[in-house]
Amino acid sequence: MKPFPWRPRMAATSPLSPYILTAIVVRDGMALCSFNVEVTGAEHVRSEWFRLDDLKPDEDDPATLGALLGVVREVWNAPLAQVTPWLRWDPVRRVNVVDGWRVCLNDATDRRCPPNERAESEFAALLAAYQEAP
């Protein structure tokens, strides 16, 4: 399994901090992360270095999803790659319903969707596509 591809502006949590962290600089197995701290009723921005092994990506953060999509586009050399819903036909309601997510390398009609299986979230679909990259 490949290590998680940390990039600047990705959000994370850590058992070493009670705050939501935002990566600023990522290098040498470390990330300089900023976070907001309330001091005497006012918010201040602080920064600390964290080991990448101590960080867990925020799977719902839009910046994290966007940065991970950028990584997938880069490793697959597919600038049009996108996360698309996995649709399932509901015969009772007679409509398509979203039943998961997948990554398609060119557009939603593209059959190259690595791996071509349903993921529970956009983050899981992107991570699976990253792991499947050559």
pLDDT of residue 110: 60
pTM: 0.84
Higher-confidence position of 128 and 117: 128
End-to-end CA distance of the chain: 12
Q: Which residues of 80-117 are buried (b: 16+ CB within 10 A; e: fewer)?
A: ebbbbbbeeeeeeeeeeeeebbbbbbeeeeeeebbeee
pLDDT greater than 60 at residue 108: no
**Where does the pLDDT of residue 109 fall: very low under 50, low under 70, confident under 90, or very high at 90 and above?**
low
Q: Where is mean pLDDT largest: 13-22, 40-49, 102-111?
A: 13-22
Report the pLDDT value the prediction gives residue 99, as an integer from 0 to 100: 86
Q: In whole angstroms, what is the distance from residue 81 CA to residue 73 CA?
A: 6
Average pLDDT score over residue span 73-93: 89
pLDDT, position 115: 67
Tokens 């009772």 sit at which residue?
92
Per-residue model confidence (pLDDT) at position 65? 97
